């Protein structure tokens, strides 16, 4: 049995998000009112949650600085040599204000002093200088900032610096740009596995090539919103999609049951969480997949598949709220005159966006109106998002249709032939589009394109006892993926409604962007599911109920949810719930919450806030970060 929600034209319904798995009673709650309500921890390929637990430098096998020169052993006492080595150790531990070491070299000649300077130069963080004091010559050994900034990578150190990025109230792309600016690097030199929510406290791995961890430590001191730690050096870099998934910790505030109801609230939450744990949820693509502007991303994808390039550009160049005034003016000229040459004269040279790339591309092919060539100026991993959004739109509708046939395998269903887990496909790697092409994560597209899709099997009657609904796959349509028979008629009619046929993916231009397609589980079963119900009073602060990694690291606040700060006689008349679960990288937490909350608007309302269309504001590039107190 499935629960069918209202078919009204809500944003969710228009993209096929309609059905639910369970028929239990749901609760109402407010979510994501504050980013402290939503915590996301990346899960690495080994299944381990990524946590920020250490802000210090990595432990390395230190290369001993040799003092085998007989003359050095004579002119430098063992105590002096030990003092210099101890100074280096203190700096390695983060104490850059450690007391300098002074070496009296008054009785030494220039050659001997030079040998001492050269020996000190072998230490990674130390510098030396000769000073005159009270008619004596002193070699001063101290921390050398410029040495760290310009240091060459030691021979025994791996090339890539991996670390944990903790951020709160920021897009992943903004955090990357902030770090890159402080390091004076191009943002695309910092790689990561996937984007994390802006309205959340999140941890994830990032990787930077040929950067000493000591340069990164200082970044954590600049702002409360970005912290870096758990440093280590590795021989390989990170790439988009090289993660197993994400673990979510979510605070549901003001939890209430439907009225009137005889069931206690705690019992309703327990039933909903047990249903999620045992029966899972429909693995819909969430609203993030379809963009946040007035023009749905899937509409641009549909126009691309229809080869209606005039419409593609009209949709892409439609004015957006809060964009720079010069861009709004440029778009008005486009719709009035179609004069791209005139437009590019109005655009600042420093401005880079999807729209500016299109205008520059059109101006180079002004006479021919070569839309395809102009479109190719957008980075490929951004171009692909539009068609992927329409693929997701089709998938959601196919999933709803299949769920209506029941939650048991039926003849004609598709499963993996060897029960292989889902692989990361190019379609699933590009989860969101927000228009920021400066820091679009790099995808090793060639490797993904050449990888083969897993072998599938069409179920027959005799196969049914060997499979469950959790094995059933719904095809994500593409050039190498076709619809199975039980979905075929519905799929054909769905395409016809949009003026398309099944060969639309084969005929797509540009050819190199043709989407291959993939297979995606119909029902997703979360793992590591748990929950906690908290009843509290007016004097309690629910924002403290989920400690972040930084809270735990600094132990700056008490987060004992079992014993809240309510006054002894204060009634605990409010309820909240902390729910936790882990999902694969291509699944959406908001879709899992639909199995708990009775009103989906509670799930999606804050999504609209999170994706406010302010990407093209140039002022947003100057990230305003709260200074560390």
Nearest to 431 by CA among 587, 544, 217: 587
3-state percent breakdown (helix, strand, coil) of the chain, nearest 5: 35, 20, 45
What DSSP line would sit under 486-546, residue for residue?
HHHHHHHHHHHHTT--GGGTTT-SSGGG----EEEESEE--EEEEEEEEEE-TT--GGGSS
Q: What is the 3-state secondary structure (H, E, C) of 318-370?
A: CCCCCCCHHHHHHHHHHHHHCCHHHHHCCCCCCCCCHHHHHHHHHHHCCCCCC
DSSP state letter for 200: S
Query: Which residues, including other chains, have CB under 8 Å from residue 521's CB and lie 6 or more apart?
Result: 283, 422, 470, 471, 472, 473, 474
How far is it, in rounded angstroms, from Cα 318 to Cα 67? 69
Q: Active-site residue 197, yes or no?
A: yes
Query: Catalytic pick from 37, 197, 540, 549?
Result: 197
Secondary structure of residue 92 in the 3-state scheme: helix
How far is it, in rounded angstroms, from Cα 593 to Cα 612? 22
- Using alpha carbons, list the distances in angstroms from residue 156 to 61, 88, 150, 188, 591: 9, 18, 18, 26, 47
How far is it, in rounded angstroms, from Cα 161 to Cα 237? 8
Pair type for strands 126-133 and 136-143: antiparallel
What does the radius of gyration of the chain's CA atoms come to, in whole angstroms? 29
Token pair belonging to 359? 């205008």
Catalytic residues: 197
């Amino acid at each position: 049995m499935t629960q069918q929600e209202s078919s009204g034209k809500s944003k969710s319904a228009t993209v096929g998000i309609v059905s639910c798995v369970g028929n239990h009673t749901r609760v109402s709650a407010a979510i994501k009112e504050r980013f402290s309500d939503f915590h996301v921890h990346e899960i690495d390929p080994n299944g381990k949650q990524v946590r920020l637990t250490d802000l210090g430098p990595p432990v390395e096998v230190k290369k001993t600085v040799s003092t085998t020169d007989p003359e050095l052993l004579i002119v430098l006492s063992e105590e002096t040599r030990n003092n210099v080595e101890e100074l280096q150790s203190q700096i390695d531990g983060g104490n850059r204000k450690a007391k300098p070491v002074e070496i009296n070299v008054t009785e030494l000649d220039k050659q001997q002093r030079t040998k001492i300077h050269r020996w000190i130069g072998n230490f990674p963080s130390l510098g030396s200088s000769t000073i005159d004091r009270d008619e004596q010559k002193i070699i001063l050994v101290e921390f050398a900032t410029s040495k760290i900034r310009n240091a060459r990578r030691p021979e025994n150190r791996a090339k890539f610096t991996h670390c944990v990025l903790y951020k709160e109230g920021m897009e992943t792309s903004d955090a990357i740009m902030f770090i890159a600016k402080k390091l004076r690097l191009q943002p695309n030199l910092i790689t990561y596995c996937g984007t994390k929510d802006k309205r959340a406290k999140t941890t994830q791995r990032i990787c930077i090539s040929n950067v000493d961890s000591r340069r990164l430590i200082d970044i954590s001191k600049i702002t409360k919103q970005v912290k870096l730690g758990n440093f280590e050096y590795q021989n390989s870099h990170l790439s988009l999609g090289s993660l197993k998934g994400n673990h979510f910790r979510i605070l549901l505030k003001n939890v209430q049951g439907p009225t009137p109801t005889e069931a206690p609230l705690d019992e309703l939450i327990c039933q909903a969480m047990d249903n999620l744990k045992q029966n899972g949820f429909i693995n819909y693509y969430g609203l993030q997949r379809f963009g946040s502007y007035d023009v749905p991303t899937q509409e641009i994808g549909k126009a691309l598949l229809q080869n209606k390039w005039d419409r593609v550009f009209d949709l892409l160049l439609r004015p957006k709220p809060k964009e720079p005034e010069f861009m709004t003016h440029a778009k008005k000229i486009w719709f009035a005159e179609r004069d791209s040459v005139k437009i590019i004269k109005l655009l600042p040279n420093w401005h880079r966006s999807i729209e500016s790339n299109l205008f520059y591309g059109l101006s180079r092919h002004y006479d021919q109106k070569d839309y395809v060539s102009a479109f190719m100026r957008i980075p490929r991993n951004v171009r692909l998002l539009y068609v992927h959004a329409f693929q997701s739109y089709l998938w959601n509708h196919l999933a709803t249709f299949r769920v209506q046939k029941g939650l048991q395998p039926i003849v004609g269903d598709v499963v993996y032939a060897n029960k292989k887990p889902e692989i990361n496909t190019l379609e699933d790697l590009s989860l969101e589009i927000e228009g920021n092409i400066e820091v679009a994560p790099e995808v090793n597209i060639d490797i993904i394109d050449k990888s083969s899709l897993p072998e599938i099997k069409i179920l027959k009657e005799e196969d049914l006892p060997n499979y469950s609904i959790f094995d059933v796959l719904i095809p994500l349509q593409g050039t190498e993926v076709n619809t199975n028979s039980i979905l075929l008629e519905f799929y054909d009619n769905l395409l016809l409604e949009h003026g398309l046929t099944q060969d639309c993916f084969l005929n797509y231009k540009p050819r190199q962007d043709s989407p291959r397609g993939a297979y995606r589980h119909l029902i997703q079963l979360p793992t590591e599911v748990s929950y906690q119900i908290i009843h509290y009073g007016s004097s309690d602060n629910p924002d403290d109920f989920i400690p972040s990694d930084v809270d735990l690291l600094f132990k700056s606040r008490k987060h004992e949810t079992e014993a809240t700060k309510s006054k002894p006689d204060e009634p605990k008349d409010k309820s909240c719930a902390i729910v936790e679960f882990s999902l694969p990288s291509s699944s959406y937490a908001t879709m899992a919450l639909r199995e708990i909350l009775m009103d989906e608007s509670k799930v999606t309302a804050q999504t609209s806030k999170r994706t406010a269309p302010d990407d093209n504001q140039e002022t947003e590039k100057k990230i305003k970060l709260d200074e560390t107190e």
